Amino acid sequence: MACGGSGSGGGGGEIAGRANRPGDRAAPPVTAPPATDEASHQDVTRLVAEATGLADRFWRDPGIVEDPSHPDLVRYRELYTDDSPTPAAVEDGLRQMVEQGEHYRPAASGFMREVEIYQWSPPPDADTLYFDTCSLIDRELVGPDGAVLSTDARLLFVGGEARRVDGEWRFHGLSNDVSRTVPLAPGAARPGTCAGFVEAADGGFTSVDPTDPATAAPAPEVLG
């Protein structure tokens, strides 16, 4: 989600939705199913859940970036393709927040973000999956004195990409096209909203053409 600044966008335990349950760890299989096998959807769903869940926990506690070898940071980098700029962008954003003494916290709704994959594009090959995500964001940016500096509440839909590398699915990122965004009243988001889109889509395909250069390689989201 092309979210501006160090922490805007759409990049732990309070995260709602199936896609971000604590403990949802993407266990790498010996050989992951190809994109042409619908079983790959489960692998990628777990992958995106773990990556976005970790990112949201980082924004709650940016100081984690001061230990580059922290197991959660190491794991986060491992979830992404080697050419994805998302992990480095997230760590840069965390450093900026540490310098400014800022962090994010859930709004009155009690959670920061839920992310759900609700539609899949026909795979262009066995090693690439494109999908559409729903993100419900409701959070507050807090300054060093505990005052709320800004709020971020919205429902947005962005495309994403995963690639199978050496037999393992890895996340490449989410699109920075936030044109499909619905502003919300801060603190009023309802957990489970995105899960409703998953149920309605019922694993359907998007209308996105993965061979279209405009959509084939989405730029990764700053927050992961």
pLDDT in tens, 56-112: 999 999 999 999 999 999 999 999 999 999 999 999 999 999 999 999 999 998 989
* Token pair listed for 124: 């262009």
Q: Are 26 and 40 in contact (CB under 8 A)?
A: no
CA–CA gap between residue 44 and residue 95 (Å, rounded): 29
Does 88 or 218 have the greater pLDDT score?
Answer: 88
Percent share of the chain, pLDDT over 90: 68
- pLDDT tens figures, 151-197: 999 999 999 999 999 999 999 999 989 999 999 999 989 988 998 87
Q: What pLDDT is stored for residue 168 in this prediction?
A: 96
Per-residue exposure over 107-116, b if at least 16 CB sit within 10 Å of its own CB, e if not:
bebebbbbbb
Q: What pLDDT is stored for residue 8 in this prediction?
A: 38
Does 23 or 89 have the greater pLDDT score?
Answer: 89
CA–CA gap between residue 36 and residue 59 (Å, rounded): 35
Mean of the pLDDT values across residues 17-36?
62
Mapped onto helix, strand or coil, the DSSP state of residue 2 is: coil
In the predicted model, is pLDDT for residue 222 greater than 60? no
Q: Going by C-beta distance under 8 Å and a sequence separation of 6 or more, which residues neighbour residue 12?
A: 22, 53, 54, 56, 57, 60
Reference 67, options 91, 35, 86, 49; nearest CA is 91
Percent share of the chain, pLDDT over 70: 76
* Token pair listed for 131: 């999908």
- Lowest mean pLDDT of 75-79, 134-138, 139-143, 207-211, name the range: 207-211
Alpha helices in 61-192 (DSSP H): 71-79, 86-100
CA–CA gap between residue 104 and residue 149 (Å, rounded): 10
The DSSP H or E segment spanning 162 is strand 148-165
Based on the number of CB atoms within 10 Å of its own CB, is 192 exposed (0-12), middle (13-18) or buried (19 or more)? middle
